[in-house]
Structure 1
Amino acid sequence: MGVVPTQRETEALTGAAPAPAHADDRARAHTTLPGSSLAPGSARALVRAALTEWTGLALPGADRLTERLAQDIALLVSELVTNAVVHAGTDVELSCRLESTGTVVVEVTDRHPARAPRDADADTETPEYGRGLRLVAALAESWGVTYRRTAKTVWARLTPAGEDAAGHEGLTAPERIAHDDPVLGDTLRLAGILAPEPRGADGDRDWLGRGALSFLAEASDLLAGQLDEDLVASLTGQLVVPRLADWCAVWLEDEVTGRGWTGAGGPPARPARVWHSGEHLVEELRQALEKEPPRPPEVTSPGPRPYPWPGAALGPHGAALAYRLVAGGRPLGTLVIGRAGLLRFPDEVTGLVEDLSRRVALAIGAARQYARQATISAVLQRGLLPGAVAEIPGVRTALVYEPCDKGGPSGDFYDVFPAGHGRWCFAVGDVQGKGPEAAVVIGLARPWLRLLAREGYGVADVLDRLNQLLLDDATEAADAAARAFAGPVAPGDGPQTRFLSLLYGELTPYEGGVRCTLASAGHPLPLILGPDGSVRTAAAPQTLLGVVEDETYASETVDLLPGDTLLCVTDGVTERRNGSVQFDDGDGLAHALAGCAGLDADLIAERISRLVHDFGTRPPDDDMALLVLQAE
């Protein structure tokens, strides 16, 4: 974590945290948090919920959980988790337990390879790590670090207001520290752990004293979950100006190529965002900063470095600092802050901005990861679906396709394509699951459907071969996984079974109608709407593809006469829920289709889609595909 606890803070640097005073499992909360910008907020929510539950259950010691102690616990957990996420970059385990004395013990474990503790007598910290755990040390009654071969745990104990010594009655732990050690107490006030004493008009110390850690916690919540790096940069400016500086700027760079810096013969780097407390100075400041972009140092650390004061835009006097934005060891950009009329920034401001810069870098890294995943998903989605639906002579076609998750590959797919010799084929399918596994199955199924159809195979033969293809592919994947894994495979870690429900058919137009041969493999059955409003099913149910070895499928043939409409849907339509009721309960889809008599294909697709959406009070939670084929 980067901070050296003094001997007074803990005498057991390599020891484990104290055992609980009682074995009541209800007095313990435990969770694993992903190493992302959302982790600190999730950790605070868990702790608040646990404290509320313990109080409601009247557990031993819960009567001493004051609001002030709860706030201290939330802030401490936020700092521990933030440090773990930023410096270790792994998933984080959080444990919080209540002792019968009212003491709360917090443990945060990361999976970063452990390193030997530094000199316990040292009273300083490595500059690039900021002040986070020094504040933890001051806030907690005792704390320490447990080093293991594959993990590292930081633990801390927070005690309620004590009555254990003269002059300590009713004081919190930080207040007792300040009572016994005025110098350390002043540090706590500057850090925002204790309210400031009246000290005149020192604006920085007064603001910081009222809530530095609260500011960082709120900043974490604001930045976490932002999925656009430019928005993160904009929020950073609003957080810094005017609280901590008169102006600031954020440069963003490509984490792989370093684009964004001035290169030999290249264009000058441009700051992504620039703010000034005086809006009329923003453009002039931007132009000055573009002439003097920050240069990436050889060593990437978030610690502040001097930055040339842009005197041409803001006058001759002022101080400016540059902070590298680094997440997961990768440089993402630079944050520059400045204030007029100073020779140097106060230490309490530089430390606070350093802690803030870590959160900004974490949020930018998360936004970039999301953007990469969204781009990959969009490319996959485009490759898994046809570029256009083929036009079929004598058939009107309408399609509704609505993936539930806009950021990932859908499990539903469709296709309408010419198969040659006066034949056209159509398919509506649904893969078990979503995301990459679904994309693999669709990437197999759709090209093979086209290939087999154009090779002249009939509907039943196509399903037979596709079924065997999925089974063979799943077997090969399982064999590959068995060779790759040296140890036992945890549930969910191995290759997933690849099931596919599919409605597949072949259309052959002739004078006066369209001959349709089709088969349904574990899929919602297709419906035919006649001009008179009658509705009937057009296929018999059969087994899912990819389940039974050597399964033999059968097809059925119907003639679609002018005005007949074939409706094909996925289970996102039939299983749309309103409470415990599904859309297709009591033949709901057939009744809805009967009400579409006399409408053309486009209006039928639009009406069924609207009825499905209106059926539930919440947005659909499954992908939906709907294909309408109407004989003219």
Structure 2
Amino acid sequence: METTRVSSTSFDGTPHAPAAARRFVRQVLGEWSLSHLAEDAVLLTSELVTNAVVHVGTGVELTCRLDAEAVPPKLEIEVDDQQPGRTVLDVPPPAEEMATSGRGLALAGMLADAWGVTYTRSAKRVWVRMELADAQEPCPPSIPAPREPVDALRVAVLVADAGGRVISWNADAEALLGWTARQAAGRPLEDLVDWDGHGPDAPALSDALALGRWRGESRMRHRDGRLVPVYVSHLRTGGRPEHRRAIWMVVGGDHGFVLASPPSPARREAGRRIKDLLDRDRPLAELLDTIARIVQLSSAGDAAYVLLRADSGNRFGVAAGAGEAAGLVGVVAAGVFAPDRRAPAVVDDLLAADVELAQRLRARSLACAPLVVAGEVIGHLAVTAAEPGRFDQDLAASLRHIADQVAGTVQRERLAEQDRAHRGRLSFLAEAGELLAGVHDEELLAALAAQLVVPKIATWAAVYLTDLAGMTRLAHVWHREERHNAELRTSLPALPRTPLSEVTWPVGRGNVLSFPLLTQGRAHGTLVIGRSEPTLPLELAELLADLCRLIALNLHTAMLYTRQATTSKALQRNLLPVRMAPMPGLESAVVYEPAEEGAHVGGDFYDLFTVADHWCFALGDVCGSGPEAAAVTGLARHAVRLLAKENYTVADILDRLNRTLLEEDEEGRFLSLLCGELTPLPRGGARCTIASAGHVPPLLLHTDGEVEQVASPQLLLGVEHGVRFFVESFELAPEEVLLCVTDGVTERRDGKRLLDDDDGLSRLLSGCTGLSAHAVAERVRQAVHSFAGAPSRDDVALLVLRATPALP
């Protein structure tokens, strides 16, 4: 070894500089017989050049200097840039920069024995120093040390066809294994090799024959039946599949050193330092990114990936990638990355093995090793190259060594991340469910759905709704920056002519993804999101799927509610009068407020209509509330109107309605009813004939402010057979007011007090002298609402009749 060696080169400040620098350092160290330092040196060089090119932006000069006379000997790598004013990133940059740029000089502090920065007037020099150990590396355990003299060496050469059958067998093969060429020809290799001895994680013999090259120990069957330990160097030829050949060079186990590759302590050392690097606490995403970058740099591949198993199924998703050609995204199917593949693999030409994967990777060569924890494959480490035949079995073994060291750390951090993500997912879905629950308006649901995913998950979101006729329309859009909402709505199709999964979205850069809103096999619409990130992690995809199911369920409930409300409104409209009958000489006003939310008709009802030369009115209250009470309401109102039209008297109307209710056999369904007739008088006013079946007595307001009850209480309807009802008559003079109410007015409660305590309603009415019928009705309504802070729990109905002076 010479005492001092120096080799320099320069690169332009382009993104290709780091790759060129890695090749230069690897070549120089190979010429200096320092290949065992190449992995760490290449990794450090990549960091130094990346810092200079990305963060400074100038051309760089790279120098490798070996000082063999130093104690201990040392190797220095220096990178000079032309902008001394820019400081070196000696601490990691922010998280958003770290995703695409380097880690500062964090690796220099971990892999190098020393590093530093030297400033001059025209340049800045960043250097790292690696000390050379004097001790010689021992032979790897897999390569047997020489014990037999070379004179006894026999190099057997045998060739097998594409089906694995022997087609060539040389004399040394006969001397080593006892089979003559004629005896061996046509025999399958699996009959001559004890392949099961490689262990459960070894590839099958057919898979090994399909590899481009590999070396390793095995045992082969001698003609006399014994197993001979051998060392095999395998090479597979190219060409058409049917013309490919497997060439084996075989020596005895004691001569394995002849065919074995040189020791590779650098890869073992790189694996040890990688483990030290990963032992530091760091987020899962940064951990996986670091693994991918180190694998890519140490293997000299074009790209490297970390694939992790999805939570459900046997699929693997890309969790991290590094390199200029990192084109693989999303989920990959089985095949090379099979869930039961527990041995490393090398594929010389992906185009011949898996065309789709080769196109997605934009690569021809691939090497991978599984991440195995407790006998289960949780993922894969993979490295690719654009040219075929770039990787050998030594690299696969190195990947396996790295994978064995990082698998436990990756699994531990992933489980912790999954636990955090699961808790966050449940919390998010619970908040979303609480927000959407009880919302029965589809437009409001669409608005809430869009705002749930922006900006937490997406840059923008749009919700399309599909009606019962199958028509899809744009219902709501939401952008992270609200000023873009109008522009976003304009750019999206309002009424898509094709399925949304086939729409080309004209919304600029970024990924656009659509998720159907499905429930019970019916499509209620689609949630469309836009993201600036190139991929959607599996966890987010599953979260969005759950959220869409929740939104679809609420949309389905809203649709049912709307349909039921529409039907209910149509039916309830028939339970109340369409309009009040005009009455010359009388003013009328009605207040009707059902207690049940969303109902139009409750247990109270009213009616006012003409019959020949007089008018009839009714005000009733059915026991209970809700649809059952409303059904009795409709029966009673229509029965009163029909009987009055047939010229039945008020007493007969009550008698017939009482028998009808008893015949319906509605147990406990009673009815209070106030029914009367108004006959106009020539001098103004009207004569009133009235009867009260268990109802609140009506109140008469005289012009002097005096208030009196004008009907005697009688038995409720629907209680007893054979009851006879009687009527009472009085004169409603001009300017006098008749007030008829249900118990929702008189029994309005505030704690223990009722509105009608101490004749409260009479006192209220006495203050309404001179008011119109509508003014009296409004004053009573306001008194009912303001009597207590809580809403009324009973239906409220009141009818006001006021006599007017006679026309001349």
**TM-score class normalised by the smaller sequence:** 0.5 to 0.7
Question: Quick check: 2:651–2:727 contact (8 Å CA) kept in 1?
Answer: yes
Unaligned runs of 5+ in 2: 1-309, 316-406
* Helix, strand or coil at the partner of 1:272: strand
How many residue pairs match? The answer is 402
Q: Which amino acid aligns with 1:396?
A: E
* Residues 1:186 and 1:375: Cα distance change in structure 2 (over 3 Å): farther
Pairing 1:336–2:528 present: yes
In structure 1, the partner of 2:616 is 425
Whether 2:432 is the aligned partner of 1:219: answer: yes
State the 1:307 CA deviation: 5.9
Determine the structure 2 residue equivalent to 1:584. 756
Question: Post-superposition shift, 1:562?
Answer: 2.2
Tell me how far apart the structure 1 counterparts of residues 620 and 630 of structure 2 sit (CA, whole Å): 12
State the Cα distance separating 1:543 from its structure 2 match.
1.8
Q: Which residue of 1 aligns with 2:744?
A: 572
Q: Does 1:544 align with 2:747?
A: no
Greater Cα shift, 544-553 or 408-417? 544-553
Structure 2 counterpart of 1:499, one-letter code: F
Structure 2: how far apart are the matches of 1:416 and 1:328? 48
Retained in 1: the 8 A contact 2:596–2:626?
Answer: no
CA distance in 1 between counterparts of 2:313 and 2:754 reads: 61
Counterpart residue identity of residue 510, structure 1: L
2:493 corresponds to 1:290: yes
Q: CA deviation at 1:281?
A: 4.6
Instruction: Name the CA shift for 1:257/1:393 in 2 (closer, same or farther; >3 Å).
Output: same
Q: Distance in 2 between matches of 1:596 and 1:292?
A: 58
* 2:461 aligned residue: 248
Residue 442 of structure 1 corresponds to 633
In 2 relative to 1, CA 385–181 (structure 1 residues): closer, same or farther, beyond 3 Å?
farther
Contact 1:306–1:320 at 8 Å: present in 2 too? Answer: no
1:259-338 aligned at under 5 Å gives the runs 259-260=471-472, 270-279=473-482, 281-290=484-493, 293=496, 308=503, 310=505, 312-315=506-509, 318-338=510-530
The two structures have a TM-score, normalised by structure 2, of 0.47
Structure 2 residue aligned with 1:369, among 530, 538, 560? 560
Partner SS, residue 471 of structure 1: helix
Asked if 2 retains the 8 angstrom alpha-carbon contact of 1:526 and 1:567, the reply is yes
Equivalent residue for 1:399?
590
Structure 1 pair 321–313 and aligned structure 2 pair: CA distance change class (3 A): closer
Counterpart-to-counterpart distance in 2, 1:291 and 1:540: 66
CA contact under 8 A between 1:517 and 1:556: conserved in structure 2?
yes
Structure 1 residues 336 and 123 mapped into 2: Cα distance closer, same or farther (>3 Å)?
A: closer
Q: CA RMSD in A?
A: 2.8
Deviations 1:409-460 (A, max 9, x none): 322211110011x110001111222222122112212122111101110001
Note closer, same or farther for the CA distance 1:284–1:533 as it changes in structure 2 (3 Å cut): closer
Match of 1:169 in 2: none
Note closer, same or farther for the CA distance 1:279–1:565 as it changes in structure 2 (3 Å cut): closer
Find the counterpart in structure 2 of residue 415 from structure 1: 607
Matched, 1:356 2:569: no
Letter in 2 for 1:245: A
Deviates more, 1:600-609 or 1:452-461: 600-609
Report the Cα offset of residue 288 of structure 1.
4.6
What is the rounded CA distance, in whole Å, between the counterparts of 1:465 and 1:397 in structure 2? 27
**Percentage of identical aligned residues:** 50
Q: Residue deviations 1:42-101, cap 9 Å, x none?
A: xxxxxxxxxxxxxxxxxxxxxxxxxxxxxxxxxxxxxxxxxxxxxxxxxxxxxxxxxxxx
Per-residue CA deviations over 1:537-584 (Å, capped at 9, x if unaligned) read 111111222222232221111122223221100111000011111111
| Matches of 2:792 and 2:495, distance apart in 1 | 51
Residue 354 of structure 1 aligns with an amino acid whose one-letter code is A
1:521 — aligned with what? 693
- 2:423 and 2:793 map into 1 onto residues whose CA distance is 45
Matched-pair contact (CA < 8 Å) for 2:679–2:688: yes
Listed as ranges, the matches of 1:202-241 within 5 Å are: 208=421, 211-241=424-454
Q: 1:441 to 1:291 in 2, by over 3 A?
A: closer
Q: CA separation in 2, counterparts of 1:378 and 1:563?
A: 37
Distance 2:704 2:650 in 1: 29
Q: For the structure 1 residues 592 and 285, does the alpha-carbon distance in structure 2 shift closer, same or farther, using more than 3 Å as the test? A: closer
Q: CA deviation at 1:349?
A: 1.0
- Measured after TM superposition, the shift of residue 597 of structure 1 is 2.8
3-state SS of the aligned residue for 1:271? strand
Query: Is 1:510 aligned with 2:681?
Result: yes
Counterpart for residue 258 of structure 1: 470
Tell me if the contact between 2:602 and 2:627 (Cα under 8 Å) persists in the aligned partners: no
Separation of aligned partners in 1, 2:791 and 2:698: 25
CA contact (8 A) 2:737 2:802 kept: yes
**1:498 lines up with 2:498 in the alignment:** no
Residue identity opposite 2:605 in structure 1: F
CA contact (8 A) 1:381 1:410 kept: no
Q: CA deviation at 1:125?
A: 6.1
Q: Which amino acid aligns with 1:503?
A: L
- 2:574 aligned counterpart, secondary structure: helix
Q: Tell me, what secondary structure is at the counterpart of 1:548?
A: coil
Aligned to 2:732: 560
Deviations 1:141-199 (A, max 9, x none): xxxxxxxxxxxxxxxxxxxxxxxxxxxxxxxxxxxxxxx986665444444x33xxxxx
Q: Distance in 2 between matches of 1:221 and 1:609?
A: 35
Aligned partners of 1:617, 1:284: CA distance in 2, in Å? 46
Residue 382 of structure 1 deviates from its aligned partner by 2.1
Per-residue CA distance 1:278-320 (angstroms, 9 max, x = gap) = 4455445445541894966xxxxxxxx966552x3314xx333
CA distance in 2, matches of 1:405, 1:555: 34
Larger radius of gyration between Structure 1 and Structure 2 = 2
The whole-number CA distance in structure 2 between the counterparts of 1:501 and 1:354 is 55
Alpha-carbon distance, 1:530 to partner: 1.4
Per the alignment, residue 609 of structure 1 pairs with 781
Residue of structure 1 equivalent to 2:112: none
Q: Secondary structure of 2:573's match?
A: helix
Q: After superposition, where does 1:123-202 map in structure 2 within 5 Å? A: 124=312, 185-191=412-418, 193-194=419-420
Number of the residue aligned with 1:625: 797
Q: What is the rounded CA distance, in whole Å, between the counterparts of 1:287 and 1:209 in structure 2?
A: 37
CA distance in 1, matches of 2:564, 2:671: 25
The answer on whether the counterparts of 2:511 and 2:530 sit within 8 Å (CA) in structure 1 is: yes
Q: Hey, what's the Cα distance between the residues in 1 that align with 2:795 and 2:438?
A: 24
Q: Is the CA contact (8 Å cut-off) linking 2:474 and 2:494 kept in structure 1?
A: no
8 Å CA contact 2:474, 2:495 repeated in 1? no
Of the three residues 650, 653, 664, the one matched with 1:473 is 664
CA-to-aligned-CA distance 1:18-63 (integer Å, 9 cap, x gap): xxxxxxxxxxxxxxxxxxxxxxxxxxxxxxxxxxxxxxxxxxxxxx
Query: How far apart in 2 are the matches of 1:331 and 1:544?
Result: 52
Q: Aligned in 2, Cα 1:443/1:188: closer, same or farther, shift over 3 Å?
A: farther
- 1:28-43 → structure 2 map (5 Å cutoff): none
Aligned equivalents of 2:648, 2:313: Cα separation in 1:
73
Aligned mates of 1:551, 1:466 — CA distance in 2: 11
Aligned 8 A contact 1:380 1:439 in 2: no
Higher alpha-carbon deviation: 560-569 or 450-459: 560-569
Please give the alpha-carbon distance, in whole angstroms, between the structure 2 residues aligned to 1:500 and 1:564. Answer: 29
Inter-partner Cα distance in structure 2 for 1:239 and 1:333: 16
Is contact 1:285–1:314 with CA below 8 Å preserved after alignment?
Answer: no
Tell me the amino acid that sits aligned with residue 568 of structure 1: C
